């Protein structure tokens, strides 16, 4: 074998039942126990397979983590695109941000993105795409009302998504000071520009 010949390892098929179960297992572990508990052994035990099978489907744990995030982001972006096509997208997008965002999972993926370049790339792409969907919906609503704002739509979207994440994180901890007031102010703004 010469120096230029490389062998590629046979990998399990993406999208197979085991592959999907491993993504489910990794997501559950991240949500329930955090990234420190996410190991190939933990994933294997969670879904009832041998540990070496994890590496048959994913060359590294980073690959498993990236695929887990990618699947979640694809699902979430599709949901946001569907919402953007509804009659009241801003209300529905806010509802998604405030009621269905999994702050724990976001925190875990953010922590992992600081350690994994592949995941960092995926997280950045997701944030930029989701923000673009929200900016487009807000810009259309403002235009329909013939309204300008002191803060550009991109800034308002950033404020809203940051506020929603803070509210959900704090609510999970049991902190509620100022939540009703902030949610009320955002709700009033949404009614002004969309109702």
Identify the sign of the CA torsion 12, 15, 111, 51. Answer: negative
The answer to whether position 4 is within a domain reads no
| Buried-exposed string 144-179: b where 16+ CB fall within 10 A, e elsewhere | eeeeeeeeebeebbbebbebbbebbeeeeeeeeeeb
- Which residue range forms the structural domain that includes residue 36? 10-59
The answer to whether position 140 is within a domain reads yes
CATH number at 46 reads 1.10.10.60
If asked whether residues 139 and 82 sit together in one domain, one would say yes
Q: What is the pLDDT of residues 104-149, one digit of tens each?
A: 888 899 999 999 999 999 999 999 999 999 999 999 999 999 988 9
Q: Which helix (H) or strand (E) holds 85?
A: none
The answer to whether position 5 is within a domain reads no
Q: pLDDT tier at 155 (50, 70, 90 boundaries)?
A: very high
The answer to whether position 150 is within a domain reads yes
Number of domains in the chain: 2
If asked whether residues 22 and 108 sit together in one domain, one would say no
What CA–CA distance (Å, rounded) separates 126 from 56?
27
Predicted model pTM:
0.85
What CA–CA distance (Å, rounded) separates 69 from 105?
10
If asked whether residues 87 and 52 sit together in one domain, one would say no
CB neighbour list of residue 135: distance below 8 Å, 6 or more residues apart: 153, 154, 157
pLDDT at site 4: 54
């Amino acid at each position: 074998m010469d120096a230029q010949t490389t062998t590629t390892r046979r990998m399990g098929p993406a999208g197979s039942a085991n592959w999907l179960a491993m993504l489910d297992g990794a997501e559950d572990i991240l949500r329930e126990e955090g990234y420190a508990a996410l190991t190939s052994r933990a994933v294997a035990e969670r879904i009832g397979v041998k540990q070496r099978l994890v590496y048959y489907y994913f060359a590294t744990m980073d690959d498993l983590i990236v695929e887990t995030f990618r699947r979640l982001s694809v699902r979430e972006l599709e949901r946001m695109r569907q919402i953007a096509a509804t009659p009241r997208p801003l209300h529905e997008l806010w509802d998604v941000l405030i009621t269905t965002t999994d702050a724990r999972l976001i925190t875990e993926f953010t922590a992992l993105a600081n350690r994994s370049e592949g995941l960092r790339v995926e997280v950045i792409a997701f944030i930029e795409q989701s923000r673009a969907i929200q900016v487009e919906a807000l810009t259309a609503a403002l235009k329909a009302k013939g309204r300008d704002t002191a803060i550009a739509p991109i800034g308002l979207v950033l404020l809203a998504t940051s506020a929603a994440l803070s509210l959900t994180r704090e609510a999970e901890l049991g902190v509620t000071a100022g939540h009703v007031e902030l949610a009320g102010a955002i709700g009033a703004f949404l009614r002004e520009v969309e109702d």
